[in-house]
């Protein structure tokens, strides 16, 4: 087939009689077929194709939205120890010294170890609709078990295995999104997913405040134990529900998607990558375990993957204030319950800013300048917090630092678009970058000790410095990608073939 907009190996093999009404709904009254009866999609520039694609993306968005709820629960189960800390968690378990920081950091050890194997298995297994929810059941059960612990060792074990199981979700969700959405759509979708972090911090604090205020002593359990019981059980219930909603990959999704939509999903990703190799072909090859090892080798040998991993590590370390947000709010001098309530507004405002920034980033095709702006505003917030203990200024500084998650969200979209194919390499690269970056959370767990409070000037100084390093690395990497795009321009002018361009 010579038409570059035809299905090729991704074509619909036959026109089902039920497909014709569907295509009519898309504004397509008739379709052309080749000699074998395969449907040829309208070219991307046609109004029919745009209408069909817009309707499909809306349908996909509705199904993918379950990922936001899952990520909210993921972070609630990960960070509920910070809220429990204000209501007797440390005292009841007999924690002292750096033991609480160790409980926070040990989660990321398991989180780091499991991410690459998990994404390799996800790409091999090809069924995120089953794999991710079952992992979700596992971390929900471990969260419930944390509520039954009575000492440091018991809590340490549950927290370690919690990170081990939770590692499957975020890199897996990023990989799943990158298989369905084009570069111009990635930032906003990644933002919607990642806003689960901010919404979890906001609503998690509100939920925690209610549980900690009203559940103390119920059935003989302390309020902080009910926090783990309730949130863990909620996670398990949502996990079983999500099995009926989450999609698989474009080439093997069934039930909710028609053959024409599936072919469209594959074709538009092929066009977006500027490659003549289809995702379907790559996916067929990726079913062998040897192909997963090839993807692992390609990711490990690509210096861009390691640069992005180090860059994100600095960024994650600069965001380490997130898990200590209730502690920082408590420095304002209010009660534990009021402190939890005060954490919600900065996160809600931050979520709104993140969505606006990500939408602008998608629309303009720019990533770096928005990341730099967000990190710079965060540095201003760190400086404000260091300068005074005045309650008003300190509280407003929390809004400045919370919005710096917009840089993190744009960076995730940048990463997905920088390692486009093959899928096996992309799966490993996303897991490797995210996994290595979590060392920032391990180190970040120890830079907010009580001894540095209530000012936490040293902590804010460290996070500001990490933000500055992240900005520098982003600017250097953008310059490199710009040079690669210029080479692509020259190559495309010489050969006439469409060549992949990096988002800047």
How many C-alpha atoms does 270 have within 13 Å on its Cβ side?
26
DSSP string across 238-305: HHHHHTTT----TTT--SSS-HHHHHHHHHHHHHHHT-SS-HHHHHHHTTSHHHHHHHHHHHHH-HHH
Closest C-alpha among 328, 331, 196, 249 to residue 60: 249
What are the pLDDT digits (tens) for 358-399? 888 878 878 899 999 999 999 999 999 998 888 899 999 999
Confidence of residue 478 (pLDDT cuts 50, 70, 90): very high
- Lowest mean pLDDT segment, chosen from 143-152, 243-252, 360-369: 360-369
Higher pLDDT, 230 or 286: 230
Q: What DSSP state is assigned to residue 368?
A: H
Q: In whole angstroms, what is the distance from residue 411 CA to residue 417 CA? A: 10
What are the pLDDT digits (tens) for 84-138? 887 888 888 888 888 888 888 888 888 888 888 888 888 888 899 999 999 999 9
Task: Output the average pLDDT for the chain.
Answer: 82
- Lowest mean pLDDT segment, chosen from 70-74, 169-173, 295-299, 311-315: 295-299
Q: What DSSP state is assigned to residue 33?
A: B
The answer to whether 275 touches 500, Cβ cutoff 8 Å, is yes
Q: How many helices (H) and strands (E) does the chain have?
A: 23, 0
Show the DSSP H helices in 85-222 as ranges: 89-93, 99-125, 128-146, 152-166, 169-180, 183-214
192-219 burial by CB neighbour count: b if 16+ within 10 A, else e?
A: bbbbbbbbbbbebbebbbebbeebeeee
Residue 110: both structure tokens together: 């398991």
Question: According to the model, what pLDDT value does residue 467 have?
Answer: 96
Higher pLDDT, 183 or 300: 300
Question: According to the model, what pLDDT value does residue 319 have?
Answer: 93
Average pLDDT value for residue range 446-456: 87
Question: According to the model, what pLDDT value does residue 144 have?
Answer: 93
Q: In whole angstroms, what is the distance from residue 434 CA to residue 412 CA? A: 9
- Domains belonging to the chain, first-starting first, are 59-257 (1.20.1250.20), 291-503 (1.20.1250.20)
**Other Cβ atoms within 10 Å of 479 Cβ, number:** 11
The answer to whether 195 touches 355, Cβ cutoff 8 Å, is yes
Average pLDDT value for residue range 27-32: 45
Q: In whole angstroms, what is the distance from residue 29 CA to residue 187 CA? A: 34
Q: Tokens 């020259």 correspond to what residue?
A: 490
Question: According to the model, what pLDDT value does residue 421 have?
Answer: 66
Confidence of residue 473 (pLDDT cuts 50, 70, 90): very high
Q: In whole angstroms, what is the distance from residue 177 CA to residue 172 CA? A: 9
Confidence of residue 43 (pLDDT cuts 50, 70, 90): low
Bridge partners of 33?
39
Q: Provide the Cα torsion 359, 470, 78, 141; round to 10°.
A: 80
What are the pLDDT digits (tens) for 302-326? 899 999 999 999 999 999 998 788 8
- Lowest mean pLDDT segment, chosen from 47-51, 137-141, 144-148, 306-310: 47-51
Question: According to the model, what pLDDT value does residue 50 have?
Answer: 81
Q: At CB < 8 A and 24+ separation, what contacts does 485-493 make?
A: none
Omega into 71 within 30° of 0, i.e. cis?
no
Phi–psi pair at 12, nearest 5 degrees:
-75, 125
Q: In whole angstroms, what is the distance from residue 405 CA to residue 346 CA? A: 11
Q: In whole angstroms, what is the distance from residue 187 CA to residue 412 CA? A: 8
Q: What DSSP state is assigned to residue 43?
A: P
pLDDT at 477 over 50: yes
Average pLDDT value for residue range 286-315: 82
- Lowest mean pLDDT segment, chosen from 67-76, 398-407, 419-428, 429-438: 419-428
- Lowest mean pLDDT segment, chosen from 41-50, 153-162, 265-274: 41-50
The answer to whether 404 touches 375, Cβ cutoff 8 Å, is yes
Q: In whole angstroms, what is the distance from residue 112 CA to residue 114 CA? A: 6
Question: According to the model, what pLDDT value does residue 277 have?
Answer: 43
**Other Cβ atoms within 10 Å of 491 Cβ, number:** 12
Higher pLDDT, 332 or 187: 332
Higher pLDDT, 444 or 275: 444
């Amino acid at each position: 087939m010579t038409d570059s907009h035809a299905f090729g190996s991704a074509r619909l093999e036959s026109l089902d009689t039920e497909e014709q009404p569907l295509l009519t709904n898309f504004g397509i009254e008739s379709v052309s077929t080749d000699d074998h009866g395969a449907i040829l999609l309208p070219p991307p520039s046609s109004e029919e194709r745009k209408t069909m694609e817009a309707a499909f993306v809306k349908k996909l968005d509705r199904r993918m939205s379950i990922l936001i709820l899952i990520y909210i629960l993921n972070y609630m189960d990960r960070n509920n120890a910070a809220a429990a800390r204000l209501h007797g968690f440390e005292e009841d378990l007999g924690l002292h010294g750096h033991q609480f920081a160790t409980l926070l950091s040990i989660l990321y050890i398991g989180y780091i170890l499991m991410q690459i194997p998990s994404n390799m298995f996800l790409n091999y297994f090809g069924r995120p609709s089953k794999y991710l929810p079952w992992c979700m059941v596992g971390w929900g059960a471990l969260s419930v078990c944390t509520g039954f612990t009575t000492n440091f060792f018991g809590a340490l074990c549950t927290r370690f295995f919690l990170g081990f199981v939770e590692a499957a979700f975020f890199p897996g969700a990023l990989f799943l999104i990158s298989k369905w959405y084009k570069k111009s759509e990635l930032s906003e979708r990644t933002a919607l997913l990642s806003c689960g972090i901010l919404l979890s911090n906001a609503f998690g604090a509100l939920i925690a405040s209610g549980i900690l205020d009203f559940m103390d002593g119920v059935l003989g359990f302390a309020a902080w134990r009910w926090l783990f019981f309730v949130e863990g059980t909620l996670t398990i219930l949502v996990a079983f529900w999500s099995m009926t909603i989450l999609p698989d990959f474009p080439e093997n999704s069934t039930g909710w998607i028609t053959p024409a939509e599936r072919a469209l999903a594959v074709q538009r990703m092929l066009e977006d990558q500027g490659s003549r190799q289809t995702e379907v072909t790559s996916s067929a090859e990726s079913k062998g375990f040897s192909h997963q090892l090839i993807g692992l080798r390609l990711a490990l040998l690509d210096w861009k993957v390691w640069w992005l991993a180090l860059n994100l590590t600095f960024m994650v370390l600069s965001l380490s204030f997130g898990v200590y947000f209730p502690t920082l709010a408590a420095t304002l001098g209010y009660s534990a319950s009021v402190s939890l309530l005060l954490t919600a507004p900065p996160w809600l405002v931050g979520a709104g800013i993140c969505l606006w920034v990500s939408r602008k980033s998608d629309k303009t095709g720019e990533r770096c300048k928005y990341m730099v702006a967000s990190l710079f505003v965060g540095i201003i917030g760190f400086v404000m917090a260091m300068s005074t203990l005045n309650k008003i200024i300190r509280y407003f500084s929390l809004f400045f630092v919370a919005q710096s998650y917009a840089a993190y969200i744009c960076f995730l979209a940048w990463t997905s678009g920088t390692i486009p194919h093959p899928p096996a390499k992309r799966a490993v690269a996303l897991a490797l970058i995210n996994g290595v970056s979590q060392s920032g959370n391990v180190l970040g767990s120890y830079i907010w000790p009580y001894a540095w409070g209530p000012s936490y000037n040293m902590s804010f100084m460290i996070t500001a410095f990490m933000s500055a390093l992240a900005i520098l690395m982003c600017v250097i990497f953008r310059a490199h990608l710009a040079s690669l795009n210029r080479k692509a321009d020259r190559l495309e002018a010489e050969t006439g073939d469409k060549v992949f361009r990096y988002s800047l």
